[in-house]
Amino acid sequence: MSTHLVRLTADDALLGEAGRLFDAYRQFYEQPSDIDAATTFLAQRLARKESVVVLAMQGNEAVGLMQLYPTFCSVALAPIWVLYDLFTAPSARGQGVAQALLDEARQLGKTSGAAYLQLSTAHTNTTAQRVYEAHGWVMDSVFRTYTLAL
């Protein structure tokens, strides 16, 4: 089945579908299910223009979700995008959904004048790592990422 992409707005009728997929994505990363909170989070990001959310649709069914955040690279003196969330419904995996979303991310980066796109994934998520590498993403071997929990 063919996949078409929809860039969401804060009052989009598909926001509930996005929330459902975003909740499934969060569960993949061992977070408790809370579809209402997931939907509200996405709506807030969109209303504040803090992110871009794209849904992959097959017919009337949402089968993939991607969220990117704009930021900057001080070293490159340029804008960049962080591809923070990417999820394909299990029923649609292997059908080119992730590829379509990654192509959309690349296009967004190019048209916005970004220096590059950046993402991170779990060390154990080897399936996603293969998909990213197959689409030209290169693992950073120069910088280490640290996190400070607050």
CATH number of the domain within which 32 lies: 3.40.630.30
In a domain, 148, yes or no: no
In a domain, 140, yes or no: no
Q: What is the pTM of this model?
A: 0.93
In a domain, 71, yes or no: yes
In a domain, 144, yes or no: no
Q: Render pLDDT for 89-137 as a digit per residue (tens, 0 to 9).
A: 999 999 999 999 999 999 999 999 999 999 999 899 999 999 999 999 9
Q: Render pLDDT for 20-53 as a digit per residue (tens, 0 to 9).
A: 999 999 999 999 999 999 999 999 999 999 999 9
- Domain enclosing residue 38, as ranges: 4-134
d(CA 33, CA 23): 6
In a domain, 139, yes or no: no
In a domain, 32, yes or no: yes
- The number of distinct structural domains making up the chain is 1
